[in-house]
């Protein structure tokens, strides 16, 4: 029996991995074909019913120009690097041209925002162009963010500014190289047009350079796509979407049925747990974990007011909108993911017919998260396995010390691998490798130094009890603790330079972030603590949902 056409095509793609020009790429539209479209073609904000998406073309811009191109993503998609920043790629990914085979659309979805049901939301500034089969045989959607108004834009303009687009482009790729499940980004395109934004919602709206990001993922379907159908009592659409996602993205589960729907939800719980544990491992804070920002594949999706912990603080959030309640702060992320999964389970009850199996499946989240987080902690601390009360106390005491005196989480764990294991080392020698992680002089006070040294002696004794070669432990720790992360102030430096037409800063930073676990001595300035000038500067310390 001959292979299926899709299998033959994937095999051919893998044999011939030479990227081809964008003009030769074949686009597919399985979601469009499987689900019903909004029958109204008028592109105006409105409530949409009995549809999964609305067909809408991007709105052309004045002067599209490619500012950045992710070569690795282009290679995975099989798309050749542009010959010119003003060529066809700029026209397509700037929203000025729709290629044959593309059927652009904006998806309909709802969601809980900051714990409250928000009703219809949808792709208010995102437009999916179509799907391509990559060189690995996988299916990928290409989606433009900032490409103009859609029926889901409400009172907004559907555009995005350069600062938020740079951040999304860079973070998508940085997270991938850190090993965190994530959507990717192919292009960053400047539009040549200004966009009016009130960055902190304080009445100081101003024009900013506009930009568009081409995002890439197997699918951008999210929890909220199912929630809107359940909320609007559209069970047929709920089933059709679930069947499409299972058949296309979870084919190993078998033909859709009540039992398969439950096992599918259980797998979503597992994938989500792994992703959240990875966030916690690298100190990433998403900033806006609404249910419409939760991927049905367990990917990190929608990079808005995100940030990395610098001084370790579980209550920290980069989102000014969340500054009072801190719902989405670093320390709350595991439980918020669980809350969001409960909302998804509620939406899926009509498919299963009973909430009990879904409740049982939900336990996979807690079990997976606990297992993965403990495994990651053992790798971060360089301990073979964290077991028993003594190990738990050792870990908890470390995080208390980090919080008591402002200590950089990334630098602390990277430096911990270099602590001398010699029992005779004095306090100063023990703490010396960690000094770069301290932000204030308080860390140098005798009381704190004594506490830190006492903990380090307990730690080194625990490490010695594992035995093994010291070099192997250091290598293991360095694989778990990145040296380079996309600190907000570094992203802001790239934005500032790009606004002046200088792409060298973003180019350098992207190259470094492709190898976040490797020592790159020539780039050590990118692995330093946040400078004091960035402590309270907009874009470096706090961000809003504005973009």
Q: Within 13 Å, how many C-alpha atoms sit on residue 20's CB side? A: 11
pLDDT of residue 212: 98
What pLDDT, in 10s, does the model give residues 253-308?
999 999 999 999 999 999 999 999 999 999 999 999 999 999 999 999 999 999 99
pLDDT of residue 546: 55
Percent of the chain surpassing pLDDT 70: 97
pLDDT of residue 2: 35
pLDDT of residue 297: 98
Question: Does residue 388 come out as left (phi exceeding 0), alpha (psi in the -120 to 50 range) or beta?
Answer: left
How many whole angstroms separate alpha carbon 225 and alpha carbon 295? Answer: 10
Q: Within 13 Å, how many C-alpha atoms sit on residue 6's CB side? A: 9
pLDDT of residue 12: 40
If one counts every other C-beta atom within 10 angstroms of the C-beta of residue 508, the result is 14
Read off the tokens for 284.
């990433």
Read off the tokens for 455.
């903990």
With a cut of 70, say whether residue 427 has pLDDT above it: yes
Mean predicted confidence (pLDDT) in 378-395? 96
pTM for the complete prediction? 0.95
Mean predicted confidence (pLDDT) in 342-365? 98
| Mean pLDDT value across the chain | 94
Read off the tokens for 23.
């003009």
What pLDDT, in 10s, does the model give residues 22-43?
999 999 999 999 999 999 999 9
pLDDT of residue 11: 40
pLDDT of residue 9: 41
How many whole angstroms separate alpha carbon 292 and alpha carbon 110? Answer: 6
DSSP 199-239: TTSSS--EEEEEEEEEEEES---BHHHHHHHHHTT-HHHHH
Q: Which residue has the higher pLDDT, 499 or 5?
A: 499
What pLDDT, in 10s, does the model give residues 458-486?
999 999 999 989 999 999 999 999 999 99
Largest CA distance in the chain: 77
> Which residues are known to be catalytic?
292
How many whole angstroms separate alpha carbon 160 and alpha carbon 171? Answer: 16
Read off the tokens for 389.
């009360």
How many whole angstroms separate alpha carbon 339 and alpha carbon 291? Answer: 9
With a cut of 80, say whether residue 16 has pLDDT above it: no
pLDDT of residue 218: 98
On whether the CB atoms of residues 181 and 278 are closer than 8 A, the answer is yes
DSSP 384-419: S---HHHHHHHHHHHHHHHHHTTBBHHHHHHHHTT-
Report residue 28: phi and psi, to 5°: -120, 170
DSSP 123-181: -SSEEEEEEEE-TTS-EEEEEEESB---TT-TTS-SB-BHHHHHHHHHHHHHHHHHT--
Buried b (16+ CB within 10 A) or exposed e, 285-306: bbbbbbbbbbbbbbbbbbbbbb
β-bridge pairing 116-120 and 65-69: unpaired
How many whole angstroms separate alpha carbon 287 and alpha carbon 226? Answer: 22
With a cut of 50, say whether residue 175 has pLDDT above it: yes
Closest among 207, 172, 204 to 187, alpha carbons compared = 172
């Amino acid at each position: 029996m001959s292979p299926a056409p899709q299998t033959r095509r994937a095999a051919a793609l893998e044999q011939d991995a030479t990227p081809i020009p964008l003009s030769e790429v074949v686009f597919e539209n399985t979601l469009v074909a499987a689900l019903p479209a909004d029958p109204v073609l008028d592109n105006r904000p409105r409530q949409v019913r009995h549809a999964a998406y609305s067909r809408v073309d991007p709105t052309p811009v004045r002067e599209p120009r490619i500012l950045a191109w992710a070569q690795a993503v282009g290679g995975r998609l099989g798309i050749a690097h542009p010959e010119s920043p003003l060529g066809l790629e700029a026209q397509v990914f700037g929203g000025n041209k729709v290629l044959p085979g593309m059927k652009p659309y904006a998806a309909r979805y709802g969601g809980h925002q900051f714990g409250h049901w928000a009703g219809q939301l949808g792709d208010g500034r995102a437009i999916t162009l179509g799907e391509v089969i990559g060189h690995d045989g996988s299916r990928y959607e290409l989606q433009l963010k900032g490409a103009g108004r859609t029926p889901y834009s409400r009172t907004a303009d559907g555009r995005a500014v350069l600062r938020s687009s740079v951040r999304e482009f860079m973070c998508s790729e940085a997270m991938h190289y850190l090993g965190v499940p994530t959507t990717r980004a192919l292009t960053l395109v400047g539009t040549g047009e200004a966009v009016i934004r009130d960055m902190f919602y304080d009445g100081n709206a101003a024009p900013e350079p506009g930009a568009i990001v081409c995002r890439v993922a197997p699918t951008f379907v999210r929890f909220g796509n199912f929630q809107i159908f359940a909320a609007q009592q559209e069970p047929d659409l709920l089933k059709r979407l679930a069947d499409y996602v299972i058949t296309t993205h979870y084919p190993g589960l078998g033909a859709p049925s009540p039992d398969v729907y439950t096992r599918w939800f259980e797998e979503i719980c597992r994938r989500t747990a792994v992703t959240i544990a990875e966030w916690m491992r690298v100190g990433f804070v998403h900033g806006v974990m609404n249910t419409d920002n939760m991927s049905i594949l367990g990917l990190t999706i929608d990079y808005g007011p995100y940030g990395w912990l610098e001084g370790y603080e579980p209550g920290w959030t980069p989102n000014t909108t969340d500054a009072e309640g801190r719902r989405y702060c670093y320390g709350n992320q595991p439980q918020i993911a669980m809350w969001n999964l409960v909302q998804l389970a509620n939406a899926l009850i009509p498919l299963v017919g009973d909430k009990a199996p879904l409740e049982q499946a939900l336990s996979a989240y807690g079990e997976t998260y606990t297992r993965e987080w403990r495994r990651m902690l053992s790798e971060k601390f360089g301990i073979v396995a964290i077991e028993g009360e003594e190990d738990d106390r050792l870990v908890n005491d470390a995080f208390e010390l980090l919080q008591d005196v402002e200590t950089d989480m990334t630098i602390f764990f990277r430096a911990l691998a270099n602590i001398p294991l010699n029992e005779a080392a004095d306090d100063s020698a023990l703490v010396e490798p960690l000094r770069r992680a301290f932000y204030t002089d308080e860390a140098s006070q005798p009381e704190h130094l004594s506490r830190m040294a006492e903990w380090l002696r307990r730690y080194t004794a625990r490490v010695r009890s594992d035995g093994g070669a010291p070099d192997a432990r250091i290598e293991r720790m360095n694989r778990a603790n990145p040296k380079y992360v996309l600190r907000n102030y570094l992203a802001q430096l790239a934005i500032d330079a790009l606004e002046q037409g200088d792409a060298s800063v973003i180019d350098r930073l992207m190259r470094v972030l492709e190898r976040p676990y490797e020592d790159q001595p020539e780039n050590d300035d990118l692995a330093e603590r946040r400078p004091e000038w960035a402590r309270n500067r907009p874009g470096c310390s706090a961000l809003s949902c504005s973009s």
